[in-house]
A and B are shown apart, each in its own frame.
Chain A
Amino acid sequence: MTPAPPGDGLDDLALYIHWPFCKSKCPYCDFNSHVREAVDQRRWRDALLADLDHAAVATGGRRLGSIFFGGGTPSLMAPDTVAALLARAARHWRFADDIEITLEANPSSVEAAAFGALGEAGVNRLSLGVQALDDDALRFLGRAHDAADALAAIELARRHFRRFSFDLIYARPGQSLAAWEAELARALALAGDHLSLYQLTIEPGTAFATSYARGAFALPDDELAAALYEATAAALAAAGLAAYEISNFARSGGESRHNLVYWRYGDYAGIGPGAHGRLTRAADRIATRQYRAPETWLAAVERQGHGRDESLDLAPEESRREALMMGLRLAEGVERRRFRARTGSELDAALDPARLPDLIEAGFIELDARGLRATPAGRQRLNAVLTALLAP
């Protein structure tokens, strides 16, 4: 049994800030990212500050456990914009003593040059989009950096931030189990307290979706994908990094506190283009969404003082499904008391009693007084487990 990671902070709020711009669009990426010739940093800073102020109207005064700058490529933000947003956030919310402030960065030399300034601005955790340690693979993935850039950026991150993590994408076309294991061993030698390891998936609307449909490349079949996934978990466990989530591995205490809020279905505010939020108000669970297109969001903020496109009350069964879908990604699973606090209903109400016994007997899930967990075998097949498990 994996012990629950620290920083439970059930009542802590998390804040997500989205910077939507990239230098180039990666072919696998379906995030809200856009390439623009020039970005008016000042205008964008003012707009993000306004959106931040608006988010504070409903949540101000709460304790803030984490802030996450995501994108896009937030390492392209002017460091003083980062500093200004953090200063403004500190006015609206009480920062937890050990507040985690993460920023996503690309390992190109230009961006790495700003790491020092970003650290001084208050960022204390860096998440580096390394993606591969192999130049051919990086080219295939459309990345602007090479393996040498990645190694240099990792060293800079180690120097300037208390904590850092990096991402790799595996199960790439033609990648053998042995090749991945070797790459993984090199990654582990470079790792801090956290790694994110994602299997390459083809998302609709991406450049890869088109080329994959045309047969430009093939992905590993179900069997190899499973073998790669299992080998990853085994290698990371041997190195002392537990699989606390499907694709995330950490030494004890190194877990991403911000992302844990998502998986534990806690409260988070989202600002910037396309940012989502989940907030608890009285007995209701509210889902918020900002305008997605950068220019639409910017115009909305300048017109009405905020970029909020939609705010709606989730139906009880919707929040139950979200809590399960997110929580079962974690090794710790879904705790009954947390489920009750977030959804207002008992865990069992979300489950299909007709299907539970088969799933338990097959060793895909465990249900006890503390809560519901997917076993490693169950997590590896979570989509199928969830469709079977959810109450009809």
Chain B
Amino acid sequence: MTDLAHIRNFAIIAHIDHGKSTLADRLIQFCGGLEAREMREQVLDSMDIERERGITIKAQTVRLAYTARNGESYELNLMDTPGHVDFAYEVSRSLAACEGSLLVVDASQGVEAQTLANVYQAIEANHEIVPVLNKIDLPAAEPQRVKQQIEEVIGLDASGAVEISAKTGLNIQEVLEALVHRLPPPRGDAAAPLKALLVDSWYDSYLGVVILVRVKDGVLKSGLKVRFMATGAAHPVERVGVFTPKGVPVPELGPGEIGFITAGIKTVADCRIGDTITEDRRPAAEALPGFKPLQPVVFCGLFPTDAADYDHLRDSLAKLRLNDASFEYEPETSAALGFGFRCGFLGLLHLEIIQERLEREFNLNLITTAPSVVYHIHLTNGEAMALHNPVDMPDPVKIDHIEEPWIKATVLVPDDYLGGVLALCEERRGVQLDLTYAGTRAMVVYRLPLNEVVFDFYDRLKSVSRGYASFDYQMDGYSEGDLVLMNILVNSEPVDALAIIVHRSQAERRGRALCERLKELIPRQLFLIAIQAAIGGRIIARETVKALRKDVLAKCYGGDITRKRKLLEKQKEGRKRMRQFGKVEIPQSAFLAALKMSDS
């Protein structure tokens, strides 16, 4: 147990690609946390997907032993936090476990929207913030301009910013010195009843559930029976340890310290992030502030491309949930796509990550339906319901009104592209809240309906700003909207997987775009195919795929038979991935591509 004065707990805040993980690697290396042969890039991002996409999904910590220039030894706890808005709650819990943050900004790119959101969170958590300008060795680096930007946009004093290159290792020790001298030590009382913040948890196939904790008061040691204050569950602590970043057992964790425990817990669903862990026999009088259960905000259907993979998908979802209790799923049946699951996620990135992990780690081919948000439906009989799936939409005559979730979105963009960004936000029913300039960059804040954002908003934003806009958002309550259910009909039969809930003013545009897209995607067949978009019984868009006029091999002789038969068998095999609509069969790939619709 280290005395409080020699402990510093800090997080690193950075926009994607600004060098957070590389800096973490350098700090670990400098403090000798790993032998040179154990170092690999982004040691803290343990999942393949994290390393490849350069994002952090799960919080990680590492304890560093640093002997400062003043000759004293310090315990530095680095908390690597997820940087994405989908994991904003985890970020806030991680930040609550630290007293300060390093704000890493790319010295040529400058401040981005994501940086802003996280900095505000750190400021809210009363953090001491040390600005760090990274990639100072690049020719395009403009440290003075970026410092000015930090002061203007964020309002932080950047005069003491540390200028580094995480890549070359330049000035890494200055970062460590700044941590020791500029960050406050934690406070706490070892004699008080135990109070530890549950920062994160994950499933380890050898240890079971591993819980990352920050001790506020009291002492955590093995054998102690602890109670989780939100769930009420009590378990005896089995192991206590810290990450260096390897897991190393320690006898105990005292106030201000960050480490892990195991307690014979089977699933992470039993460990709520933000919960307070206390001693069962001598509980704390009150829990740490700020606990809230996570609520999925984006829903979609996940279906196996091959129906035979349904059981495998179910088992895989169960396994993933062992490690990520923040998504939910329940069985769903679709006439177009067969048996699958309706799943809820914290946001679009979260959705993508789960989908990608299922495909990659569990070798599944998936079809993902259009993401939908949670609507609050108020019925004429006074009842209310939360709608997760468009196909569950009640009969319109029974609906009094519908509310949809809104977000507060912040976009930072070079002013050359501001016009396009404003037009996009207006087109998506946005309400402008703020527009300010910092140098040649504009910061615009909009209130937007979330259902307009889950539908190709990122792609459009990227294209109108040539990739220069950065975007972040936070949830901003529910408001009533004129929302309708739009069905897509193929030869008069509705395709449930393509049904969407849409604002009446957007229905025709979306309907036409979907019909046009499907027309391109559905190959000509022996019979004509009518594609329609409808609200109730009213057709709002229509396209026709003409019947095939010619489709035959010019030559087929004795030497061709085997090859042509195999071709035919492949085509026939492809029929298994088709869904029948009357006389025509539509390839699943057409629905899949229509669901992506990124360029409409």
Contact = CB atoms under 8 A, between A and B. Distances in A.
A384 B568 contact: no
A249 B116 CA distance: 75
Nearest to B526: A384
Given A261-B558, A388-B526, 20 more contacts: A16-B558, A32-B559, A198-B554, A201-B555, A247-B555, A276-B559, A321-B569, A322-B565, A326-B556, A358-B583, A362-B526, A362-B583, A379-B552, A380-B549, A382-B552, A383-B551, A383-B553, A383-B568, A384-B526, A384-B548
B525 interface: yes
Interface stretch (A138-146, A185-193, A267-275, A331-339): A267-275
Contacts of A326: 556, 561
Contact of B550 (A222, A259, A268): A222
7 contacts: A246-B553, A321-B569, A322-B565, A362-B526, A380-B551, A383-B552, A387-B572
B527 interface: yes
Interface in A350-392: 358-359, 362, 364, 379-388, 390, 392
B567 to A, nearest CB: 9
Given A268-B558, A358-B583, A385-B526, A325 B552 contact: no
Contacts of B555: 198, 201, 247
B25 to A, nearest CB: 44
A381 B527 CA distance: 11
A289 interface: yes
Contact of A383 (B569, B571, B576, B583): B571
A211 B524 CA distance: 26
Given A199-B554, A201-B554, A274 B568 contact: no
Contacts of A382: 551-553
B526 A364 contact: yes
Interface string A255-293: 000010110000010100011111000000001010000
Interface string B521-555: 00011110000000000000000000011111111
A149 to B, nearest CB: 23
Interface stretch (A223-231, A296-304, A341-349): A223-231
A222 B524 contact: yes
Interface of B: 524-527, 548-559, 561-562, 564-565, 568-569, 571-572, 575-576, 583, 585
A120 interface: no
Contact of B552 (A246, A270, A358, A362): A246
Contacts of B557: 259, 262
Contacts of B551: 380-384
A296 B550 CA distance: 39
A226 B552 CA distance: 10
Contacts of A359: 526
Given A270-B559, A275-B559, A381-B549, A325 B554 contact: no
A14 B559 CA distance: 13
A125 interface: no
B558 A325 contact: no
Contacts of B550: 222, 225-226, 229, 380-381
Contacts of B556: 246, 262, 325-326, 329
Residue from A275, A364, A380 having most chain B Cβ neighbours under 10 A:
A380
B565 A387 contact: no
Residue among B548, B554, B575 facing the most chain A CB atoms (10 A cut-off) = B554
Could you tell me the dominant secondary structure of chain A's interface residues?
Answer: mixed
Contacts of A276: 558-559, 561-562
A225 to B, nearest CB: 5
Contacts, number: 108
A226 B547 CA distance: 12
A14 B555 CA distance: 19
A193 B562 CA distance: 30
B524 A387 contact: no
Contact of A262 (B526, B561, B583, B585): B561
Contacts of B562: 276, 287, 289
Contacts of A392: 572, 575-576
A206 to B, nearest CB: 13
A322 B572 CA distance: 13
A70 B585 CA distance: 40
B526 A325 contact: no
A148 B585 CA distance: 50
A318 interface: yes
A210 B558 CA distance: 26
Contacts of A226: 549-550
Nearest to A169: B554
A14 B558 CA distance: 10
Interface centre among A31, A274, A289, A321 (most CB of B within 10 A): A321
A349 to B, nearest CB: 15
B559 A274 contact: yes
A229 B548 CA distance: 14
B571 A322 contact: no
B564 A325 contact: yes
A323 to B, nearest CB: 10
A31 B325 CA distance: 59
Contact of B568 (A229, A321, A362): A321
Contacts of B558: 14, 16, 261-262, 268, 270, 276-278
A16 B559 CA distance: 9
A270 B557 CA distance: 12
A356 to B, nearest CB: 12
Contact of B548 (A32, A222, A268, A270): A222
A170 to B, nearest CB: 10
Closest 9 pairs between A and B when the two form their complex, measured CB to CB? A226-B549, A226-B550, A382-B552, A198-B554, A262-B558, A383-B551, A276-B559, A387-B571, A199-B554
Contacts of B585: 388
Contacts of B565: 318, 321-322, 325
A387 B564 contact: no
Contacts of B553: 201, 246, 382-383
